[in-house]
A = this chain, B = another copy of it.
């Protein structure tokens, strides 16, 4: 789908030479056996081309050089972080420059008075989280891949995580950016102040733009004070509908949990099979709720009562941090556990108004039956953000086809229920047609107009989003 043709051999030599003019040799990889490893992220079913070259700059100036060369030679550029994305947004296009930001990994500043951190894009999420913890601060966004994924990648996809129901997604924490534009010029957006409304909010435009508008080379991030350790409650339900009813009661009741997650029976069983966690397999849906308030036990007691009103068959608050952590570990294992079921998964990311969560889960069950597939659901239930995960054998052509069809049907259902096709994983290649369906023709036209304003030659991550 790239608008740019792959460079022939001679052009490739020219490209490499031009890159090496201002990049050290160790930052320019051309060995096909090596560059092949940079071809794709973690999404299934997404085309990936062969990169002409992989560059690993360490400075802003080097990134500017790469973009100037790309513009001069009209070579597409695919920016990459840790390639833990789930939508193919970091997949190479044929003959592209893969621009990996992983070596720009310095934390430049942590300021407890201003409650900000200034970082390069290659900093690992967990590294930043731990570094700010030492200052009594908290960087909330915590995607499941937080031990591997980079802040630059998080910004590219506006990543979420378990914390969002209270703390929101990555977008909420990006105050300002330094961005290298398609032509190599450097632009600063936003601010390092708590507030600011000087001109259009280009910072937020870049967050979630999947590397298609410019290359983020520095970010000013907002931090929160570190909250008290959270305490978790587990509630078992006889039906997914009852669990969703509990979610609605909790949120309508004015509670502000720091986590409100749901695992369906399939997911609970998969986690037990993988890790022998001893989760209750008789449950149809397991709800995990946590508070990081001054008195989490009191908050959990109130929520536990609401769960019982909604029909919970058992409500078990954790006694302490260790028990809480065990429950969170079970939750974090969901996707890996579901992958073990049949070897391959397609992970939907449909987000619906939480009042429609029950309808979505019911629909997913219907779709699983229709396509004779195992579809496990784990969900950031408090946000209405579900990950129906289609388990299939990639060697089985018919099952693979059914998997893709069911995956799409779940997105259609999400849109029907007033939701979005992606709550936090992004569009990439995997959901391009679905983005067009969600936005409609006028929306797509304006999105393309914005893209053209920043990248008139269409060099930045072509073929992604739309």
Contact = CB atoms under 8 A, between A and B. Distances in A.
A164 interface: yes
Contact of A383 (B193, B254, B383, B421): B193
Contacts of A30: none
B171 A172 contact: no
A281 to B, nearest CB: 30
- Taking each of A185, A199, A383, A424, which has the highest tally of chain B beta carbons within 10 Å of its own beta carbon? A199
A8 interface: no
Contacts of A352: 193
B197 A442 contact: no
A355 B114 contact: yes
Contacts of A198: 420-422, 427, 435, 438-439
A294 interface: yes
A294 B256 CA distance: 13
Given A226-B254, A353-B114, A385-B194, A199 B466 contact: yes
Interface stretch (A14-22, A97-105, A390-398, A444-452): A444-452
A419 interface: yes
A382 B169 CA distance: 23
Contacts of A169: 195, 197
A157 B197 contact: yes
Contacts of A116: 353
A265 interface: no
Nearest to A353: B114
A24 interface: no
A443 B164 contact: no
Interface in A287-329: 294-295
A447 to B, nearest CB: 5
Nearest to A247: B113
A191 B113 CA distance: 34
A422 to B, nearest CB: 5
Nearest to A448: B453
Contacts of A255: 225
Interface in A408-453: 418-427, 435, 438-440, 442-443, 446-447, 449-453
A338 interface: no
B251 A115 contact: yes
A251 B113 contact: yes
A185 B442 contact: yes
A277 interface: no
Given A195-B160, A225-B255, A442-B186, A201 B113 contact: no
A454 interface: yes
A181 interface: yes
A383 B442 contact: no
Interface in A174-230: 181, 185-189, 191-202, 204-205, 207-209, 213, 225-226
Contacts of A248: 113
Contacts of A384: 114, 193-195
B418 A181 contact: no
B422 A181 contact: no
B442 A202 contact: no
A282 interface: no
A364 interface: no
A424 B193 CA distance: 12
Contacts of A422: 196-198
A200 B199 CA distance: 17
A420 B196 contact: yes
A197 to B, nearest CB: 4
Interface in A142-165: 157-158, 160, 164-165
Given A197-B424, A199-B447, 4 more contacts: A169-B197, A186-B442, A194-B351, A197-B420
Interface of A: 111-116, 136, 157-158, 160, 164-165, 169, 171-172, 181, 185-189, 191-202, 204-205, 207-209, 213, 225-226, 248, 251-252, 254-256, 294-295, 351-355, 380, 382-385, 418-427, 435, 438-440, 442-443, 446-447, 449-454, 465-466
Please list the 9 inter-chain residue pairs (A to B) with the smallest Cβ-Cβ separation, ordered nearest first.
A225-B254, A204-B204, A449-B453, A194-B383, A196-B420, A195-B423, A113-B355, A158-B197, A114-B353
